[in-house]
A and B are shown apart, each in its own frame.
Chain A
Amino acid sequence: MRRLARAFCISSVLFLAVYAVAPLRDYFQEWKRYQKSYNRLADEKFRQNIPVRATPIGIRQIWNRDLDTVDRCVTCHLGVDNRFLRDASHPFRAHPVTPHKIGETGCTVCHRGQSAATTVRGAHGRLRWWEDPMLPSQYLQSSCGQCHAGSSVPEAWVLNAGRGLIETSRCVGCHKIPGFARREPIAPDLDGIGSKVRPLWLFRWLKNPKDYLERTSMPDFQLSDEQARVLTAFLLSQKVSVPEASVTSDRAMVELGQLRYREARCISCHAQGGRGGTFGPDLGKVGGKVRPGWLESWLRDPKALFPQTRMPQFSFPEKDIRAVVAYMESEFADSSIDDRQEQELVRSLPPGSRESLAAGQDLYHRLGCGGCHRLKQMEGQIEFGPDLTEIGNKDVDRLDFGNLRLERNLWSWLFTKVKTPRTFGKNLKMPNFGFSDEQSQEIVVALLSLSARKIPPRYLAPAEKVSPLRPQGDFGKLLKKYECLSCHTIHGEGGKLAPDLSIIGSQARPQWIASYFRLPYSLRPILTERMPLLGMSDQEIRTAVGYFQTVLLDDSIPQKLFPDGRPDAQQAARGKELYFNKYGCHACHQIQTAGGYVGPPLDGIGGRLFSGYVLAYLKNPQRFKPAVREPNYHLDDSDARALTAYLLSLPAADKGQR
């Protein structure tokens, strides 16, 4: 009995000791240590007269009712909102400047981690079964994308770049991605490809597109020789009727072709051997790629062969077309394509039997070619890759890491997938886009922004609205035919290569515009780039100029400043004085070849621009061209008028000096 009593006694004491651990652990919690050390820091700062206040010991949190988050991060990160702690050491350092109010927004909505936790390991989410650890800094911008749509999110350059890459790489060809519409295919239509390209080129292209065109957005499908042959045979069977053409090597024709090629400024869009524009493909080796007959038809009317092409239609006469083709065939030959090899390849292709075509069709389907290209007989193929709608919150244990030794988290998996898509297993379909580390990271940031979190509408920042400019009728057709908006902008829509045309009707005189259409030249001596010679008909020029003069106007600019159309000679004289002595305009501008090279020459400017516009421009150049280098002198009205009068009185330049 006594032994039992002693055992009971000892075990009671032991139990009591065990029970005592609980309140002790409760008392000595991690976060209390941090708060005490913060208070020591606060005392020290206070002695130096820096307003940092000690905190009462207790759990602190940010409750965001809208997002339904309770973030206890501020229990330890006490200085997060205090600008006097910018240089303090962690965990007390202040947050960098942000447009969001930290005390209202909270922390985990951007940084992830475990909001409820009050331990270091727990809060940072570095726990075995916690799915949502803190985002590493290089992926942080993904959180911006939860609320901010579009690819011009302020201060989120990585996210913007990633979204841009998703757009240009046409990920939506295979995947469903919210925020990215499945628009018209960007890659060429494949109807008639058999009449367009040479077999050997096609085979090599399918094997590795970047070999031929470094900048192509077509990914590498890592096809075997056999697969490439099957696909080549299938694609070559897609014919279209284009007249066969024989290339002339007549010297005069080649020279004429070269002249026309230069006049049309083909190089503005098409580089040759890496030098030139990037709108269209590099033409350096196009002779080994396309057949001359097809090239002729293409130059005659590109949109007949590929309606979505961004290439403008040049109105070349028939002879010029043959000349340009002759020039291109002689200038852009591809020495690596030789006829013997090509014949060998054609012999090794599977016969045009029904079975082999069906095999090609099947391969076309399985590779997802229809995601980017259009082929009439294969219409109707839609997204077949995984839906990426909520990929940013995908559970890690649902990802297949294969045999790879990777950190087990979502971002390292996504990074590896984007960079080397087929490393996780043998039967994966995604092709290799050849993204660099940096690009892969940008795409991962954009993907991580596809979150499953329900964002209240008032937090959402929609993408900038693009102006709904859709001119119809004759002018609309012209805009499409000559692809004006590839280079020019009208009311926020279009390219940035050439001047904004939004108010061109208030700026330039119609006669000058018409003559410029007939013979474009470079307005600034230091620029070699200029508008291509499109060969517009008189009727088309009248349509365009008429539209400019009735629609593309700014009513606040008077067209005619001087009642009788001629500037007052007295004013002009004062303007000349101002031009040379007070403002030194000749430092940048030329008059009769005298003056600087930065701005355009001002000879005959009265024949080009409306006087009202010149006046308005002089008063505030940046109003019309935000990035223009011309300084804003804040001219008063009389000075501005005098200068305008002087400029308008300038005669046109002597012939031949342009």
Chain B
Amino acid sequence: MSVVELKERLVATQVWRSVFRHRYTDSNRNRSLAIFSNVFLHIHPVKVPEKNIRFWHTMCLGGLSFGLFLLLTVTGVLLMFYYRPAAPQAYWDMKELEFVVSSGAFLRNLHRWSAHAMVLLVFLHMARVFFAGAYRPPREFNWVVGVLLLILTLLLSYTGYLLPWDQLAFWAITVGTNMAQAAPGIGPKFKFLLLGGNVIGENALVRFYVLHCVALPLVAAVLLAVHFWRVRKDGTAGPL
């Protein structure tokens, strides 16, 4: 049996055809199918005019932010293998990551610096959109979604700050929750809700942990989908 024969028989199997649902012939139909039938690619348009993907239109800021979001998700999941949201174990787990886990310090630094970079890039992304006037109709809805994503990014950054359970974490959260307390009317209740008590203790640590690792990333993922879908529908704004 020759190689060509083997290949033909393989391509003819049901398994192969259920995964790759179109042929490779370079036709418009197959090009469209390649995009449509793939969950990861379908958010892209089938065809893009070259002038629309000039670097200085977007400076790739949105894409980079999303890239960092993915990186943070991956490193975050890896860190979760080593981390216990309990006092005082949380702090000792940081020390384990630093001193004994293979590449643990690298993992942790990657997560931390990516988080800082993501906040910066999201800000720059917003500034770019603003100066490009891309918040105007018909993109006003996506601007609002973007603002929500900005807030989520900041909240993710803030909730992650408590998790090392060191002095920096403790006092940053003290300041932050006292700011929340200053809100008129609901302030004190809101602080109580955030901390799960009146002081920063293990309850607060668990709350921030769940917010940081589950609740906020899920909401962000949903909003990201909406955001990208709107970009796809509204088209890029093009040069001013």
Contact = CB atoms under 8 A, between A and B. Distances in A.
A601 to B, nearest CB: 71
Interface stretch (B6-14, B98-106, B142-150): B98-106
B55 interface: yes
A116 B100 CA distance: 9
Nearest to B92: A116
B106 A22 contact: yes
A1 B92 CA distance: 49
B99 A118 contact: yes
B21 interface: no
A116 B103 contact: no
Interface in A84-129: 114, 116-119, 122, 129
Contacts of A22: 103, 106
Contacts of B100: 59, 72, 116, 118
B96 interface: yes
Nearest to A131: B167
Interface in B59-97: 92, 95-96
B99 A23 contact: no
B110 to A, nearest CB: 8
Given A4-B55, A116-B92, A26 B99 contact: no
A118 B100 CA distance: 7
A546 B120 CA distance: 94
A347 interface: no
B102 A116 contact: no
Nearest to B102: A26
A12 to B, nearest CB: 13
A25 B109 CA distance: 14
Contacts of A117: 95, 98-99
* B contact face: mostly helix, strand, loop, or mixed: helix
Contacts of A119: 99
Contacts of A1: 50
B95 A116 contact: yes
Contacts of A23: 103
Interface residues of B, number: 12
Contacts of A114: 95
Interface SS majority for chain A: loop
Contacts of A72: 99-100
Contact of A116 (B99, B106, B167): B99
Contacts of A122: 99
A567 B5 CA distance: 128
Chain A interface residue count: which class?
Answer: 10 to 19
A62 B98 CA distance: 18
Contacts of B55: 4
Nearest to B110: A22
A22 B96 CA distance: 16
Contacts of B102: 26
Contacts of B106: 22, 25-26
Contacts of B167: 129
Contacts of B99: 72, 116-119, 122
A119 B100 CA distance: 10
Q: Which of B95, B96, B167 counts the most A-chain CB atoms under 10 A from its CB?
A: B95
A59 B99 CA distance: 10
Contacts of B96: 116
A129 B166 CA distance: 11
Interface in A1-58: 1, 4, 22-23, 25-26
B171 to A, nearest CB: 12
A26 B100 CA distance: 10
Contacts of A26: 102-103, 106
B6 to A, nearest CB: 35
Contacts of B98: 117
Interface string B35-66: 00000000000000010000100000000000
A526 to B, nearest CB: 65
Interface in B188-227: none
Interface centre among A72, A116, A118, A122 (most CB of B within 10 A): A116
> Among the interface residues A4, A22, A118, which one has the most CB atoms of the partner chain B within 10 A?
A22
A72 B103 CA distance: 18
Nearest to B94: A116
A381 B130 CA distance: 70
Nearest to A7: B55
A114 B91 CA distance: 13
A25 B107 CA distance: 13
B3 to A, nearest CB: 32
B117 to A, nearest CB: 13
Interface of B: 50, 55, 92, 95-96, 98-100, 102-103, 106, 167
Given A118-B99, A122-B99, A129-B167, 17 more contacts: A1-B50, A4-B55, A22-B103, A23-B103, A25-B106, A59-B100, A72-B99, A72-B100, A114-B95, A116-B92, A116-B95, A116-B96, A116-B100, A117-B95, A117-B98, A118-B100, A119-B99
16 contacts: A4-B55, A22-B103, A22-B106, A23-B103, A26-B103, A26-B106, A72-B99, A72-B100, A116-B95, A116-B96, A116-B100, A117-B99, A118-B99, A118-B100, A119-B99, A129-B167
Q: Which 7 A-B pairs have the closest CB atoms?
A: A22-B106, A116-B95, A118-B99, A22-B103, A26-B103, A117-B99, A26-B102
